[in-house]
Structures are given as structure tokens and as C-alpha cells.
Structure 1
């Protein structure tokens, strides 16, 4: 017969084990427990994590019984202390008998403090997990080691002779992350009371999925429950039905300094996982699924183990290299993850065509990211990229057009990026077109541009990570300010820095750097966004050759205090009149959040040459724009991180021009190899070279600048990719 505690037994034990002196639970705390139903709260973590003490506090505040597995299950079953059992049977046998005892345990509506070794027994954890919510107390290893030392416990189950406590804790972490439903990140030195409060908040969040919603920048803040949008909805939809962009209704979660310092010691994938868990509700994407996605996204496909390393450039300037992904662009940081999130959130009965407008880097990054999905997901997902035929570099064009995997292709247009982006947004807004595709082909349109929330969210990670790297390397102490300078076109990269700041990263100023298409710089200076008679001018930095910055809408929504009526009015005017002006009070707020400047083509090339002469480091043309603007606008009183958004090899002809190298080779592969010899850093991008070798000489499709022609491309792509519904 299974080990079963009756309600009366649990109540007696709970009363005997509660902390004292304490007052009775407040009524709201009892109500807090009511929505748990029969679910247990299962506290998991290493020995010394504080599970027993935290469990007592949580149980008291919720008015629930507390069960300690060591005392109430194991010792009751074995009729001897746990330590004595371990000494009698040894580690391997102990784990098996401990697991079997847990398999016979049954209880409901309890707070259960698991033993530190329970997660090592898969059958036992599967059994108890079915009865409750597994909350992982992710405690700093140094705190655990100090507590175990105070407890005079220098060995734990499974620790062999010669293996340090630190190593065994690291080994066990993989098992804790396998079983968790919710992580509670504990800062170094957190008290048990602070940890208990974090547990209560984490349980509240898990059980209140309906409260973690998204709204359109142009929509009402309160929607009927039937129309509430969650993470999985906005990932698939991309653009809101009213033409606005989705944002989290309650903003971003904020971490405290001790939590950030925990992240400083972690790798990039570990940082990404913890931060994304806080931003994506586990009922949209489970912790286990999210972990698998993150480890796949930021693994061997990045040439740098650091993923997005920060390097000193000169004086107070640092460069964050965001180009170590497979397509040599910062877009990889989002687009190696976003397709996995998208596929996970897809409803089961539809096909999806991802439409992308790109000014260069997004196209190849989207094609690369979606090509890495499983074969089943690729069969339901098509990708169609539109790019300006004369508005991208030759290497960017080759990267996009060389992709021939699955339902994916790139088509160029004799127009600029803004035409491509405007056409795609128009398609989303035409009910006749979207309805026809849904009925005839069971196909829904979506997007992977930075208007899609799942595309923007991962970019918050690298802005946070750059600050943490500077803390880890003792350039700054946590709390010291930094500035960031970002080559700015569609404003997504800048907006993600705004969100990193909202999460608690001490970014003082976000500096937006434009080329001679300086619409963002002019807007920040004057509050007027004016596209009338403003032609798009090609530049050496084509990825920021953009006049209509989509994510600026999210920024105006942010600084206006979520004034959706104002946002709708302004951006409707921009669509119809090509002009809007923000109120004076809002202009001041904009300028408090960001600085903005621009540089000429000559200044851009001169910066590449100057930095190369002084340091040997070779920048691409976009990073050079950031360098010029940072030199002009940043006051030198704190470090500034320049976002290096692409590898110099993607814009080789411009870099040759900057370095004044005569007789540059015409072959793109030879160009990359020649530049690699010139640079002390960064190294040549091997995956980009291989892509060009394989895809060189291929022809691609070119369209005239006609909206109807682009619609025909969409229908043709769907006909080729998906079976017609009969």
C-alpha cells in the first residue's frame, strides 16, 4: 500500500513544524491558495538551498500543510535517520530506495520540500510532478557551500571521493533544470524570507496565466477575456489586427541587483534562459521546452563560445560583437531562436507563410533560422523574403539567394526597403486576401521582422549580457551606468535596449546612430517625423537605409505611458500624410531616454580607417556609423558599448574603399580572405565564406515595384509549398 498522509496527520505535522512566533495567515494569503485546487507546491533544489525553511514560511502564508520528504517520508518509511540509511547502503542503493519511497508518496494541497537528491530518480520525479508545481530554488553555489559548511555537512549523496562540492552541485543542476516548472532565481545572500516571497510570486504568476497579456500599441488596454492575447498568440499573429504592434500589457519584469549579479557569472545561453523564463509565461512555453530551444539557438552554430562577446576598443569604448552567428549579423541572436518559438506556438491545423521585408541582414538570418527547424515543422512553414535589388550588399544578396532549403526563398524587388515593408503590412490588413489564403490553402500569414514580438524579445538578452560582461570583467560595478550606441534603422535594436533598461540594467543613454538617411536623428531632435519628399539614399551601411522605422511605434507607446489613442493618431497620420509631430511634453521624454545623431558616408569610411590604423581592429560600415556618433555625443564619463551589428566581410567593397586598398579582388570569397589578412581582429567568418562558395553564381527572381506582383509571389509560393484544400 502506498505511503499516504491523511489530512489530519498533515495538519498535525504542519502545526508542529511551523515557525514561531507568528501571527495567523492573512485572509488574502488564504485566498491566494484557493486557486491552487488540489495542486501541491514542490520545492526542489540542492542541499543547503533552504527548501525546508522556505517551505515552512510558504506553507504558513498559504495556510497549507508542510511535508518534508526527508523527515516525513524517508525517515517514516525507513524508521531511521536519512544519514544512517546512507551510511548503511551507500550512495547508489540509497538513491534507488529513496526514489521508490517517493514513488509511494501521495498527498494534495501541500507544500512539499523535496530532498536534494530526489531529482536524480526519474520515476520518482515523474510521479510527484504529476501532483504539483515543481519550483526550483536556484540558489548561488557559494551560498549553498557556506550553509553546508555551517551544517558540518561536507558530503552529499552521489559525491565520490576527490570530487568537490562545487563540482557535484554543478553536476546536479542538469537534473533540477530537467524537472522544474518554475525557477526562483535567488540572489547571493537572499534571506529565506526573501526567497519565500519569491516563491509565492512565482506560484501566483504560474497560476494566473490570463493576467500576462499583450496589447496593441494602437488598441485598448483592457480587452474582453475572450480576446486577450498571450505570448503564443502574438508570436503567431506577428502584427495586431488594428495595424499596431504587440507589447506586454504590464511591461517587463524587473530584476534586483543580486539577481543580476548571479547572471554575471553565467554563460550567454544560461543568461538567456533565465531572462526568457521571466518574460515568457511557462504555460505558453514550458521551462523544459524553452531550455531546449535556447541551448539549440546559442550552441555550436555560433563561432564564439561567448556568443556575443564584449571587447575593449579604445579609451572608454567597448564593442559588443553581435556577428558570430551563422549569417554574420546581429539578427542571428534573435532569429536562431524565434523560429523555434514560432513553431512551438503554432496551432495544429494550419500552414503558415512567413513574410519578411529586409534591408539586408534579416533575410539571410530568417532563412537560416527556419531552415534549422525539424522536417515536420518545415513542412507547415514557408518563408518568403522580399529585398531591394539595389539596396543590399552583393554578399548579403548571395547569402539570401543561395538558400534553397524547404519552403523558403528570397525575391528581390526594384524598389527600396520601405516599399517591401509597406506592401507586407498592406497584405496583413487586407481581409479579402488573408481570408482567401485561409479558405483555399489553410494558410495564415505571419512575419519574422522585428515587428514580431518573438523577434524583438531575444535582443533584450544581448544588451543585458554586455553590461554583465563588463561587471564580470571588473570594468564596472553593478549599478554603475553605461551608454550604448546602436546603428539604427528600424529601431528594433534600440527598442530592445530600452526594454533591457526597464528590466533593471543601468543604461544611462541609448544613442541612436543613423547614416545620411537620418530620419530617426531628425525626429529625436525635433519631435517631427516627416517623410514628405524624402527619398531613400543608398549608403555604405544598407541595413539602416530605412525611412519608416516600425519599432518607433513601440517607443512612442512606451514614453507616452501607453497612450494608445495618441499612438494610433500619430501613426495613422504618418500612413496617410507622411508626417506627424509629437506633443512638446512627449519630446522632452523622448530626449531623456535617447540621444540620436548621424554621420556622412565619408565620416563612416574614415572611422573604419582610423580605428584600423590605431588598433588593427576592422569594423563594418554600420559599426563605424555607431563609432562616429558615439565620438560626437557620448561625454566620456562612463563606458559606452558600440553594437557591432555585422561582420566587416559582409560589406567588403566599402571596407576596401575605407582602407584605400587598390585592386581589390572582384570575387566575394577572395575579398573576405584578403580582408582577413589585414585585420588583427575579428577573425574571418568561416561560415559566411562556405555559404558564398556553395551559392555563388546562382540566379534569383527579380520583381517590378508593384504591390499586385508581390501578392502574386505570395500566392505562387503558397501554391508551391502547401496542398490546396479541397
Structure 2
């Protein structure tokens, strides 16, 4: 199994090289040359397996240059040993609203209380083994742009990992107070965090420019350092996300919620950068019985418009919302979807991405749009509707969800009404603990909300009002010391990276 670049299909590298490098030198994203296929008989076997066993089975189909023992070691190191609640990384909660059968796939039971842990507890193990396979003695400098959750999950995953350093950039006013505190109190001798003056798109664009800056690359090379990424542009970040879609379906089979062979499910994903729903798309192509992929956006509805019209246009107002991990106008992983839908046409992808870079928009062909409509339903909701959904779910189901999960539930209701499809079993991806967004969640469910209370007072109040426990990683944050308080302009990100690398130079 080799990997090609979305912007040069002639490039072919091993999985170890793709994971180590993170992004292709010309800016393309690595994708597998083919997708493995799983039959219903495979799902019957997997329904009786643990999450780690399912992960080993699926990862093995993609990582042909890893031994079975290496993959097993990586997976067990990531998902066992108490890192996830009761060693259950992806449990399901069942909600029923009329005829609707909603299964909330809870992906936030890891060390940072967000779904990014599912991949970022595994990626460091894959990366360190990959570096050895390509016989690299260089230190890997991990660059991360985050809209909130990826940064903390990457920091936690890579802290004190031998042979690595990690630099995280986040928008100063574009993450929740709890997300900011999680990052700025991060422990570890090899970690660095910097806020930027700008939004997530500025951070993501800055990181991509640094990756392809020849002068910075030369300086790193001289000092025995190479770039890699922990964002979902890295295939090693995206691959583990495919696993939990298969695992969720197998759990529904094992619990008798799937009534017949090949019964299809809908999958609803709140997404900004398109990585999480892309993993669901790959799972569908690999044989998972999926009827519709439902893409849920907040007020930054660039994906909704694109999936409905075929026009991607980032030239619009940027909204800072209560679901900040989705406050994104440039969705990097859409490039991988389009590469697949065009039959691996890297020239066409390069053209569209150049248009996006130069004018901020592009339009796909009608045949591509037709395929998109067959696969996806897209909707969005604003902050007011998000809060109302949190309140409704809590009052009717006694279930507390975060602001991103609420967007997904709201858009699912839009889909069910529009398509008259209430009976298809539907997996809704729940991406974060409500305590990561205590201010907004408390405001939605409690009449006693006080805007002037401290973040941790709101956490305590949310627990008292709802009778739900505060996750240990959140409770422990209050006593931790702030280590990072640096803010830089987006054009100074390169200098911040070199400082993290220990190189004195002005870019």
C-alpha cells in the first residue's frame, strides 16, 4: 500500500514516509493508492472484538510496511492503560425522539475530553516507528494549527516523546477559555504554544506556508530537524478516525440495533476542516453500510454552501461562535474528497486549490456536484439554535451535550424533516465534553447563569445544576500553572517555529 499526493499523482511513498512527512513537498495531501474493502462477514467477526482489536484489523489494511506486532503495540499503547474511561474509547448513548433512532457516538472520553484524542493518542506511536522505518535520525518538529481541540490533544499525545518537538498555534480570540487553559498549562519539556493575532484559517495558512518555506526547511535540515504535522492533513491523523465508524456500526450489530444484513445507517458529523466526515466517507467506500453522510456546520457555513452548490467561496464574513472548533472557512480535507471523486485527477485538484489561494473561490464540475449530492446532505445552524438544541435534549432526554454535538443534532433534525427519513438508524458524532464549553452549555440549560462568574465557577455550577460529573482532566486544570502566554502576528509564525527548534534566525 503506497500513498500518492493529491497535487501530483506521480508521487508514490510508503505509509511510513507519508506519516513522517505529513504533507507532500508541493503542498498536496497524501492519500492511499486504493482503499481496502470489508465484507459483511468481516463486520460479523468485528462485532465480537474489542475496540483495540478492531483498530488493529483496520490499520493493518493500510500500513503494509508495519508488522502486525508493531501495529498492535501502537494501538494498545494508545487506547489501553487507563487513558480512556474504563478503556472504552468510543461508547454509544442512545436517544429516541419520536420515530428517530439517534445513537450518539461519544468520542470525548480521553485525556483531553475531545474526539481528537482518538487519533492523537495513536499518532505519536505511528510517527516514531515511521521515522525509524525511513531511517531518519532527525528530530521531528510537529507543527499544529488548532481551532481548539487538536492543539491540546496533540500536545498531550506528543509531550516528552523522544525525538520530537511540537509547536501549536491557536487564534487568540477563537477558542473557548477552557481550551485556551488546556493548552497554556500543558506540561512537557518538548512543547511550545503560541497564540496568533487572527483566526484559525490564518493559523492553518501560516503553518502550510512554513511547511513549504525553503529557507526554513534549509535551516532545519542543517540542524537535524524535519517537519511533520499532527493536523488531519497528516494521513496518520486521519486513518485512526476511520476505525470508530466501523466500531460504532459493529456495536450496533452486537446490541441488536441493526435488524438485518447490510442495514444502512446515516452518519452525522459536526465538522469544519472536513477531516472527521472524510473518515466516514472512506469507511463507506470500504464497505460500511451508510445511507447518507450528513455534514453539520455552524454559522461559518462554507461547507454547507459548497456541498449544496458546488461553489467553494471563503470570501465571506467570519463568525466567532460558541462552537469554535468549527470556526473555519478553509476546509483542508475537502481536497482529499475531490481527488477521489475526480478519479485521482491531480491536475484538476491543483487548479482548484490555486484558484482558492488566489481568488478565494472555485467551482467544481457538474458531474462532481452530482456525486456530492448522492453522498452528502449539508445543513447549518446559528448559536441561538445551538443553545436551544442543548436545552431541548437536556429537558427531553436528560442528556447533556456540548455545542458542537448540538449543531449535529440540529442539522440531523433538518435532514429528517427535509428527506422524510426518521427511521434510518443514525450515528451522531459527539465530539467534546460539555464541560469544555461550560459557559455556553450552562447558559443554555440554567436560569441561574451568571456571565460574570469565572470559568471554573461555571464548571461547578453546571455540575450542580445537571448532576453530571466534572471530567477529571477538566477538574485538575484549575490548579495548573500557566506556562505559555506568547502572542505573535501571523507573519511572525516562522520565527516562533525556529525559536522552538532552538535556531536563532529572523525569517
Q: TM-score range by the shorter chain?
A: over 0.9
Matches within 5 A, 1:132-281: 212-220=1-9, 222-223=10-11, 228-250=12-34, 252-281=35-64
Provide the residue aligned with 1:583 in structure 2. Answer: 365
* CA 680–264 in structure 1, closer or farther in 2 if over 3 Å, else same: farther
Contact 1:303 1:324 survives alignment (8 Å): yes
Provide the residue aligned with 1:384 in structure 2. Answer: 167
Of 263, 279, 282, the match for 1:499:
282
Matches within 5 A, 1:79-98: none
Shift of 1:372: 6.2
Provide the residue aligned with 1:366 in structure 2. Answer: 154
Shift of 1:381: 0.8
Supply the distance in 2 between the matched residues of 1:253 and 1:372 (Cα, whole angstroms): 34
Residue 675 in 1 paired to residue 462 in 2?
yes
Provide the residue aligned with 1:461 in structure 2. Answer: 243
Contact 2:322 2:403 survives alignment (8 Å): yes
Residue 563 in 1 paired to residue 345 in 2?
yes
Structure number with the bigger relative contact order (C-alpha 8 A, sep ≥ 6) is 2
Of 181, 206, 209, the match for 1:426:
209
Supply the distance in 1 between the matched residues of 2:118 and 2:3 (Cα, whole angstroms): 23
Question: What's the CA shift string for 1:293-327, capped at 9, x where partnerless?
Answer: 11111111001432101110123111000000000
Matches within 5 A, 1:518-533: 518-532=301-315
Of 578, 592, 597, the match for 2:374:
592
Contact 2:160 2:188 survives alignment (8 Å): no
Shift of 1:266: 1.0
* CA 349–278 in structure 1, closer or farther in 2 if over 3 Å, else same: same
TM-score, normalised relative to structure 2: 0.94
Of 120, 123, 131, the match for 1:335:
120
Of 379, 385, 393, the match for 1:611:
393
Matches within 5 A, 1:52-131: none
2:167 is paired with a residue of what secondary structure? strand
* CA 663–520 in structure 1, closer or farther in 2 if over 3 Å, else same: closer
Supply the distance in 1 between the matched residues of 2:466 and 2:113 (Cα, whole angstroms): 16
TM-score, normalised relative to structure 1: 0.66
Shift of 1:676: 2.4
Residue 639 in 1 paired to residue 420 in 2?
no
Of 313, 317, 320, the match for 2:105:
320
Contact 1:483 1:641 survives alignment (8 Å): yes
> What is the root-mean-square deviation in Å for CA atoms of aligned residues?
1.7
Provide the residue aligned with 2:66 in structure 1. Answer: 285
Question: What's the CA shift string for 1:41-100, capped at 9, x where partnerless?
Answer: xxxxxxxxxxxxxxxxxxxxxxxxxxxxxxxxxxxxxxxxxxxxxxxxxxxxxxxxxxxx
Contact 1:254 1:504 survives alignment (8 Å): yes
Shift of 1:697: 5.2
Residue 296 in 1 paired to residue 77 in 2?
yes
Residue 661 in 1 paired to residue 453 in 2?
no
Structure 1 gap segments, 5+ residues each: 1-211
Contact 2:148 2:179 survives alignment (8 Å): yes
Supply the distance in 2 between the matched residues of 1:697 and 1:409 (Cα, whole angstroms): 12
Matches within 5 A, 1:18-29: none
Question: What's the CA shift string for 1:256-281, capped at 9, x where partnerless?
Answer: 11111110011111111111112211
Supply the distance in 1 between the matched residues of 2:441 and 2:464 (Cα, whole angstroms): 13
Supply the distance in 2 between the matched residues of 1:642 and 1:274 (Cα, whole angstroms): 24
* CA 293–694 in structure 1, closer or farther in 2 if over 3 Å, else same: farther
Shift of 1:625: 0.2
Of 674, 687, 706, the match for 2:473:
687
* CA 268–478 in structure 1, closer or farther in 2 if over 3 Å, else same: farther
Residue 350 in 1 paired to residue 132 in 2?
no
Matches within 5 A, 1:527-546: 527-532=310-315, 534-546=316-328
Larger Rg: 1
Shift of 1:289: 1.6
Shift of 1:614: 0.6
Point out 4+ residue stretches in structure 1 off by more than 6 angstroms: none
Contact 2:179 2:436 survives alignment (8 Å): yes
Does 308-317 or 381-390 show the bigger shift? 308-317
Supply the distance in 2 between the matched residues of 1:512 and 1:636 (Cα, whole angstroms): 17
Supply the distance in 2 between the matched residues of 1:559 and 1:633 (Cα, whole angstroms): 23
Contact 1:515 1:625 survives alignment (8 Å): yes
Supply the distance in 1 between the matched residues of 2:179 and 2:362 (Cα, whole angstroms): 33
Shift of 1:351: 1.3
